[in-house]
Structure 1
């Protein structure tokens, strides 16, 4: 064998494969055509320059911009064996076929923080230009001369069958607690209003107000469903009586319900029992219905916590008494 030279005791497997290939071509009279190097795409001399064919569009954006746009679309920034220009072509194809990017769920907390930050910037600009005499940034509060004692008197007839009265008491109580929350934030010292904690609490308060807006609109129009109105009346009644443990129990029953998750058989017997629909309505987990209900249920829990902090009661009637601390 020609591969095994006198001065060598071994040979490479690649050399053996190449020798066998040549013997096979000679045996079958096969002529090998040498491959010509392609002149269309060559390695660039500079890392920022890319040589392309004349029939292809030039890469008119940087590699960093291509990476950013691909990551915005949750696409890989480079496939196996892909060049920078091929990644650019893939990005162009994605932008042509799907111009709209799915941003996913909206971050309401970040939006509230951004809105609050913009309001602070606008207020500071007014102070510098002399358009505002205020020396500190406050949250807007609209007074209506409502007190906790007046709400407690109105709550004496809560849940007695008068739905219009129940809607009025629930609406006024939620608005009253939101005003109290805003006043608490406004009364903080000016040096604390520059901290991240104050901005976070202000953004949470504004987000809570936005979450409760659909519920307040339904209460004004008297379009709240009967089962939710019963739960809200129970929660507000216990909150005004400063019995936060019972209010939390009613809240949990409204939010997650007490029905077991059905697996397999969901109905026993052929005929449904009398009043079965009414029994089932008390076991619905309303937080699972839609996103709007989930938001106002979350906002309701926040104002319950604020009420417990502003109007404390006995530890036996408080929920997580040691965990509720002032700002």
Structure 2
């Protein structure tokens, strides 16, 4: 009981220091406590409350989010960040400096959990647009050389049947050999995908369908880089290697349903979860 009483007294002392409760005021609003905590955090970070009249404070209520020695962002950057968050770029009666302060307040107070995937997709779209512009203005020989260098590690004699023949020796406790076959198969599939995209005409590349295909291809290349790195360094864990071996065997035998089942078993195991939980 003494511990509980001491904890209650400590918390009450903190509330009194924040001027939320006193002898006359027994209760407080949780919003006031949050506001006080935010105020302390902002003061520690060097932000100052603007000194203005009470009339101005009713309009400009809040903190000046331009700390000492900190410059205001360019207007186009402020607009871009506000639009990313779904915020209006300028409210009625709001100045550009006030809009910047509102942006800074949003960046501090609002979570950014939903921005990751959207930014990855936007980055991939920008890469596709940039690649298309380079194809338009670059020489054909240069473009071919870049595509050739991208898959320079893959032997030109490698084809589907040769990889299928190599897979016959997989799963015999030779981890390095299994990793080589997996890396060869994945590189070959990426090369086929790249060749298919490169084979489209200029008019087809302008279509939404082909553009989305190129975006997915660009994202896939980025996402498999850690896997390729582990395969090259021979640092892939045994359980993942075993599952990838089964997936590759099913793919080479064109048993795509079994390959999908092997992937799901690797991803979520045999737990009876709905698939939507892990997507």
TM-score by length of 1: 0.50
Q: From the superposition, tell whether residues 136 and 191 of structure 1 become closer, same or farther in structure 2 (CA, over 3 Å).
A: farther
Q: From the superposition, tell whether residues 88 and 68 of structure 1 become closer, same or farther in structure 2 (CA, over 3 Å).
A: farther
Aligned to 2:228: 216
> Are positions 1:181 and 2:188 aligned together?
no
Residue in structure 2 matching 1:227, options 213, 222, 239: 239
What displacement does 1:140 show? 2.1
SS of residue matched to 1:84: coil
Aligned to 1:34: none
Aligned to 1:140: 147
Aligned to 1:25: none
The answer as to whether partners of 2:90 and 2:99 remain within 8 angstroms in 1 is no
SS of residue matched to 1:177: helix
SS of residue matched to 2:135: helix
Any runs of at least 4 consecutive aligned residues in structure 1 with deviations exceeding 4 A, and if so which? 39-42, 63-79, 85-91, 96-103, 133-139
**Count, aligned residues:** 204
Tell me how far apart the structure 1 counterparts of residues 55 and 76 of structure 2 sit (CA, whole Å).
Answer: 22
The answer as to whether partners of 2:178 and 2:245 remain within 8 angstroms in 1 is yes
> Are positions 1:191 and 2:203 aligned together?
yes
SS of residue matched to 2:228: helix
Aligned to 1:204: 216
Q: Deviations for 1:113-153, whole angstroms, at most 9, x for unmatched residues?
A: 11110121133233xxxxx1469999824252211111111
Q: From the superposition, tell whether residues 67 and 185 of structure 1 become closer, same or farther in structure 2 (CA, over 3 Å).
A: closer
Q: Which has the higher helix share?
A: 2
Tell me how far apart the structure 2 counterparts of residues 113 and 231 of structure 1 sit (CA, whole Å).
Answer: 32
Tell me how far apart the structure 2 counterparts of residues 108 and 68 of structure 1 sit (CA, whole Å).
Answer: 16
What displacement does 1:68 show? 7.6
Q: From the superposition, tell whether residues 125 and 183 of structure 1 become closer, same or farther in structure 2 (CA, over 3 Å).
A: closer
Q: Deviations for 1:172-227, whole angstroms, at most 9, x for unmatched residues?
A: 00000010111122223343222222121112111111111100110111111111
The answer as to whether partners of 1:170 and 1:232 remain within 8 angstroms in 2 is yes
Residues 21-170 of structure 1: matches in 2 within 5 Å? 84=93, 89=98, 92=101, 95=104, 104-106=115-117, 107-126=119-138, 132-133=139-140, 140-141=147-148, 142=151, 143-145=154-156, 146-170=158-182
Tell me how far apart the structure 1 counterparts of residues 164 and 247 of structure 2 sit (CA, whole Å).
Answer: 13
Q: Deviations for 1:1-27, whole angstroms, at most 9, x for unmatched residues?
A: xxxxxxxxxxxxxxxxxxxxxxxxxxx
The answer as to whether partners of 1:66 and 1:88 remain within 8 angstroms in 2 is no
Tell me how far apart the structure 1 counterparts of residues 125 and 209 of structure 2 sit (CA, whole Å).
Answer: 12
Tell me how far apart the structure 2 counterparts of residues 158 and 166 of structure 1 sit (CA, whole Å).
Answer: 5
Structure 1 segments unaligned to the other structure (5+ residues): 1-38, 43-51, 127-131, 262-284, 289-293, 295-327
The answer as to whether partners of 2:81 and 2:103 remain within 8 angstroms in 1 is no
Q: CA RMSD in A?
A: 4.5
What displacement does 1:69 show? 6.5
Structure 2 segments unaligned to the other structure (5+ residues): 1-52, 65-71
